[in-house]
Amino acid sequence: MICFNVPPYTGKEMDYIRQAVENQKICGDGEFTKKCNAWIEERTGTKKALLTTSCTHATELAALLAGIGPEDEVIMPAYTFVSTADAFVLRGAKVVFVDIRPDTMNMDENLIEDAVTERTKAIVPVHYAGVACEMDRIMEIARKHNLTVIEDAAQGIMSTYKGRALGTIGDFGCYSFHETKNYSMGEGGALLIRDEKYVEDAEILREKGTNRSKFFRGQIDKYTWVNYGSSYLPSDMNAAYLWAQLELADVINDARLARWKQYWELLTPLKERGILELPAVPEECVHNAHMFYIKAKDLEERTRLLTFLKENGILSVFHYIPLHTAPAGQKFGRFHGEDKYTTKESERLARLPMYYGLEEGQVDYIVSKIKEFYGV
């Protein structure tokens, strides 16, 4: 059986968790959390990175920092995970969905401006499969209409757009370290903050509305309750698990890219014969092999393909059910313009097994079964 995903594990995780326990510092913002934050800051060049309990929570923090409130509108794609919308819906905002581009499955940058109204407060680009959205155009629209840009870079750590790390281009960036992502701590994420002016507020919001972060740095004598907030900081044991992978981030990235390229090379003949479609990576984007997907002709063919692969011991999956078609999506959002590609393309897409540790021979086998399915 070839799993669809296996959580990343490098071998050092248990040692580091033990170390966190022996440090007698298992709550948040311990040694490993600091190492992870510093690593993200150094690797991406962001002003500030703060580990959080999830990417969902990082997005909630960003929504709070951006001052999103009732009746505000937030523009995003409908082809995304529920968290992208949840963070804003929780603040009472209305979600406005725009269509995606069929090549990258990212929000179509040319449809955003038409969806802007007097109530629009933010744009939330989702970098699907770790391939960047057209950020220059998105930032230009945001500047013109004075909107906040919150990048859902849950899948985008280690990817770049014109040489800049995903999550550092907009006002805020959100990473996920869920077990299905390239680097994991079980459940976890990070908020990336571009502008220094938000850092203190972010620290307070993340620490239950207190100025405890300042206290720990010795900047004040005692800490107190200064604003509303919540608890968005993960335990240092979780950060210890993550640290084992961030230390080997390039090794993991290279291994994933090798399998991605193997899929790409072996499946290109099928693409050239018009049998299936493969992911597009625009020239200005460097991706992180978060995902390898193929597109079948239609929903019916995809269903048969996934069943055939399963019968042959290969777990391949699809996602997402477009948010505007879900009950909550209908309640909290609206689709602006025509759904030309969101539903159609989502019904054709199948994700192939992709994880750190996936073997060359396994990819050969998966591709051989896809070829068998198509009779080539």
Ligand X SMILES: *Cc1c(COP(=O)(O)O)cnc(C)c1O
Binding site for ligand X (CB under 6 A): 54-56, 80-81, 83-84, 126, 152, 154-155, 176, 178, 189
User: Of the two residues 232 and 373, which places its CB atom closer to ligand X in the complex?
Assistant: 232
Q: How far is the CB of 176 from ligand X (least distance, A)?
A: 3
Give the nearest distance from C-beta 368 to ligand X in angstroms: 29
Whole-number minimum distance, CB 71 to ligand X, in Å?
24
Closer to ligand X by Cβ: residue 50 or 270? 50
The distance of closest approach from Cβ of residue 317 to ligand X in the complex, given in angstroms and rounded to an integer, is 13
Q: Which is nearer to ligand X, 65 or 126 (CB)?
A: 126
Where does residue 247 rank: exposed (0-12), middle (13-18), buried (19+ CB within 10 A)?
Answer: middle
What's the CA gap between 169 and 173, in Å, rounded?
8
Cβ-in-10-Å burial (0-12, 13-18, 19+) of 143 comes to exposed
Q: Which is nearer to ligand X, 37 or 176 (CB)?
A: 176
Rounded to an integer, what distance in angstroms lies between the CA atom of residue 200 and that of residue 186?
A: 27
Q: Are 188 and 177 in contact (CB under 8 A)?
A: yes
130 conformational bin, left if phi > 0, alpha if psi -120 to 50, beta if neither: left
Question: In whole angstroms, what is the distance from residue 79 CA to residue 97 CA?
Answer: 9
Q: How far is the CB of 156 from ligand X (least distance, A)?
A: 9
CA-CA distance, 50 to 122, in Å (whole number)? 21
Minimum separation from the CB atom of position 234 to ligand X (A): 11
Nearest CA among 50, 33, 53 for reference residue 237: 33
Closer residue to ligand X, CB minimum distance, 52 or 210: 52
Rounded to the nearest whole angstrom, what is the least distance from the CB of residue 271 to ligand X in the complex? 25
Residue recorded with tokens 């004598």 = 221
Distances (CA, A) of 26 to 23, 162, 184, 297: 8, 39, 18, 50
Residue 54 or 288: which CB sits closer to ligand X? 54
Exposure string for 292-330, b = 16+ CB within 10 A, e = fewer: bbbbbeeeebbeebbebbeebebebebebebbbebeebe
Query: Which residues sit opposite 149 in a β-bridge?
Result: 123
Torsion over CA: 123, 128, 131, 134 (sign): negative
Q: Is the peptide bond before 9 cis (omega within 30 degrees of 0)?
A: no
CB 305 → ligand X: shortest distance, Å? 23
Q: Which of 107/147 has CB closer to ligand X?
A: 107
Which CB, 79 or 335, lies closer to ligand X? 79
* Unique residue bearing structure tokens 């407060």: 121
Q: How far is the CB of 320 from ligand X (least distance, A)?
A: 8
Cβ closer to ligand X: 155 or 235?
155
Do 154 and 174 contact (CB within 8 A), yes or no? yes
